[in-house]
Structure 1
Amino acid sequence: MRAHHVVMAVTDDMPIFEAAVPCQIFGVDRPHLADPWYRFSVVPVGSAQVRLSPGFSLAPVGQGWDPESTDTLVIPACENVHEDPPTELVDLVREAYERGIRILSICSGAFVLAAAGVLDGRRATTHWLHAEELSRRYPAVRVDPSVLYVEDADVITSAGTVAGIDACLHVVRIDHGSAVAAELARRLVTPPHRDGWQAQYHRPASPVVRDDWLAPLLEWAGEQLHMPLTTADLAAQANVSVRTVERRFAEALGMSPLRWLLQQRVRRAQQFLETSDRPVEWIADTCGFGGSAGLRAHFARIVGVSPTIYRRKFHERSDAVRVAI
């Protein structure tokens, strides 16, 4: 049997962790698990030597990318999601897609796939911090920020950092079966199968406000989250019309007042769950959900898990290191 050939394309200043994950999964020969294992190549794109952040470099080995022998193309994270990815890398991804090569992106590598048109009309994910930017720049992509990874035909996208391990193990599971993937996970001391639908445990973003008129209103509303606030209450506080409040929120934050209020309530609930032992019912009332049922419904929809599961995973204890999200 010919070994499945996995090629990772890298460019200057890509984060080292996302580049290291495929090396560890596919680049270490493991004949005790499957023989043949993978053939693995790293192809620098755009320069003779590629710098990886922080302070590492890769020199090209061999003849570069050979699309004829490539079975899977891996694209690690981008250096900067707010800039267009390198043209050479986008062209490489587009050619791979046209040739029917399986493509896997890790974290913000989804931006490269989107720039190449690979994700048009597809469901995809990326790190939850970048999901809104991905949706804004590439509206044809159906971005799901709440999952660990997404497989859509031969295109796989994953969320941030550690979720790249889950996506790579998913590839191993496809190619070599669940038993092999589980044994590899055991050797890597990582969960054998975190399903792609599992939540990223993201915290709703707190938008940067560059509107001097709106900032005092947001500060006031943030102190009143325990109250059943409405858009009319915000308008009355600012002494303007409801339409004016809705327009200023849309212009400054890109969302409605009620959506902003809901996100702030969820953020406040996350803080209580992480740092206190208060009952869920008390948190629900204090954060303005009007009861535990409302908290559970909105929390699960936005964060991806129930308040109880979230507390179990992120509660701050004296004998444990706090997990930052």
Structure 2
Amino acid sequence: MNICKIIAALALLFQAGPALAQATNTWPRMIPVRPDGSVIDPGSVGGGVGGSVTQGTTPWVISGNSTANASGNPIFTQVVNFPASQAVTNAGTFAVQNTAATPAGANVIGRVGIDQTTPGTTNAVVAQGQYTTTPPTLSNNAYAAPQLDANGRVLVSIGQTLAAGGTSPGLANSIQGITNGVPVPMSAASLPLPAGAATAANQATEITALQTAALRAVPFSEASAAAAASGATIFGGSRDAGAASPWSKFNALVSSNQSGTLVVQGSNDNFTTGVIIGSTAITANVSAYITVPLLYRYNRAYLVNGATAATYSMNTSYTAN
């Protein structure tokens, strides 16, 4: 019997030979054989469902007969016009990849941006505090926000409470000029001033001395209604200002009934050598006056009379101001 089945299978093979050799579909093929040794029709698809494969279409079209596909032999088809995006539902955990550089340190993603192009108005960073009716009690290495009062003012504490009268031990209850929070008038006696310091009493004395010096002047009468010959030069006395002089100016005045010149002269050697400091013209019957700064220890004035004999008077002075 088995020989007969083999001969039948070979006969079918010869019958299917022309189909296997078609130029449009040439590929290695295996001839399916049933468990009982019978050959399955090579034109069937899916193991029991007859059909044909046509390559002339794109994609390939698989056509079958009316018999349902046997279990375990699926027919493969192509899905077209599949949407570009689909909603994903997953009850598990998705793996997320960060394509940017991950910050170093604690690997915190993101940043806080502060743009102070307009100070105080753009992206300002606010430091917040906390208001509580009862301040928190912290344990070692604990953290807390800055504490505020009901008006938002920051509470600052020295850690101790002053008793009545400010007598808490270990705290400074008195500083110079303030005792127990009350200002105390200070006096020269209470200050560690050196001897002769500018106290109020000394200042009054010094002010008086300065005022007296400012008003101080020493006049000298050099000549009064004296005669001056034509073209004569007449000197006043040498006036010593002193080595440490309280004076700042030397003054001279001449009154004459004729024209002439008033000259002020200074010297460091009591006029062994004299230097002219200033001069001014004299108009008849008009007093001529000149003031020069104190530049020399010794100073004097003199008259250079004009071409006509004259009667004149001359006065000089030192002044402190």
**Is this a same-fold pair by TM over 0.5?**
no
Question: Which is richer in helix?
Answer: 1
Task: Please report the TM-score for the alignment, with normalisation by the length of structure 2.
Answer: 0.17
Larger Rg: 2
Task: Please report the TM-score for the alignment, with normalisation by the length of structure 1.
Answer: 0.17
